[in-house]
């Protein structure tokens, strides 16, 4: 089964390609395939920005990139270093104030998809980008913080989370809930009156997880070529649920690999 991607590729081609891509590259490519041409996307900096800009450079040239600093329809030629990167405003169709961005565009439910990453995620897709450690005032590590992520998670019509699959990141319970996925229990999100659907997909360098439609717990639905279910379980702190019909994502094509490498190279050279 192929959850996201082109039809199956010959085994010989797959074996050759397997030697050529990195785990970050396949995560970025599979993430980009989930983006629908013509959709509007609220984009975070880092991996999410690479993913969405790759989609714009390949199969989704009409995607509308929106950043929390105000650019709408940004078309960066290099990956932005921050939401304040001048490349975003200089290439945008329009730039609005931050209050308008949040009050009208985001909280008004006018953005199709949000793309987020985080330092921690738990089984109900709650995200932490604030602190590591049990004491907020005296944490082990203080992270960059929320930014616009809580509003993205709350009000975008749907959210995709993109992050590397490591045991320290896929935890039983996040140390701090920066952005609500589905809360501590099923039904919590609805009780808060959040209008967006919440996380619909978590894409990692190992595979794809989706919330179960009944209990919302993240379930492994596909792995990338060369990845086993046990590899994913070993890097997940909770007892991971696995779909009965677990699939495998299509390997990267030459076009996708060339595009992502060109994008990353341009960003590192700027």
**Active-site residue numbers?**
68
φ, ψ at 223 (rounded to 5°): -120, 155
Q: In this structure, are residues 147 and 106 in contact, taking their beta carbons and an 8 Å threshold?
A: no
Helices 23-33, 47-57: crossing angle, 10 deg rounding: 60
Alpha-helix runs per DSSP H in the chain: 11-18, 23-33, 47-57, 86-91, 98-100, 149-155, 188-191, 229-234, 254-269
Closest CA to 163 of 110, 115, 105, 114: 115
Considering only CA atoms, which of 268, 267, 222, 266 is closest in space to residue 248? 222
H-only helix segments in 127-182: 149-155
What tokens were used for 105?
């565009």
Report whether 107 contacts 155 (CB < 8 A). Answer: yes
Q: By the 8 A CB rule, do 247 and 229 touch?
A: no
Q: Could you tell me which residues come within 8 angstroms of residue 133 by beta carbon, excluding any fewer than 6 positions away?
A: 139, 140, 141, 175
- β-pairing verdict for 158-162 and 113-116: parallel
Nearest by Cα to 54 from 262, 270, 269? 262
Residue 121, phi then psi, degrees to nearest 5: -140, 145
């Amino acid at each position: 089964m192929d959850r996201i991607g082109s039809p199956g590729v010959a085994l010989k081609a797959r074996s050759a390609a397997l030697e050529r891509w990195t785990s970050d590259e396949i995560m970025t490519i599979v993430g980009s395939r989930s983006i629908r041409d013509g959709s509007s996307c609220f984009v975070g900096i880092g991996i999410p920005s690479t993913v969405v800009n790759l989609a714009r450079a390949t199969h989704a040239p009409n995607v509308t990139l929106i950043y929390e600093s105000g650019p709408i329809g940004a078309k960066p030629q290099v990956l932005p270093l921050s939401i304040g990167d001048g490349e975003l405003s200089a290439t945008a169709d329009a730039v609005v104030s931050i209050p308008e961005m949040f009050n009208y565009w985001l909280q008004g439910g006018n953005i199709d998809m949000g793309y987020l990453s985080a330092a921690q995620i738990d089984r109900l897709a709650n995200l932490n980008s604030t602190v590591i450690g049990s004491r907020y005032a005296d944490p082990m590590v203080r992270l960059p913080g929320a930014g616009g992520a809580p509003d993205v998670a709350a009000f975008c019509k749907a959210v995709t989370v993109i992050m590397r699959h490591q045991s320290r990141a896929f935890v039983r319970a996040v140390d701090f809930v920066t952005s609500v996925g589905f809360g501590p229990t099923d039904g919590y999100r609805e009780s808060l009156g959040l209008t967006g659907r919440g996380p619909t997909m978590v894409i990692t360098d190992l595979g794809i997880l989706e919330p179960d439609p009944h209990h919302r717990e993240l379930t492994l639905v596909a792995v990338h070529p060369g990845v086993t279910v046990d590899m994913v379980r070993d890097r997940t702190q909770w007892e991971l649920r696995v779909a009965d019909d677990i699939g495998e994502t299509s390997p990267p094509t030459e076009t996708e690999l060339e595009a992502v490498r060109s994008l990353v190279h341009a960003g590192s050279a700027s």
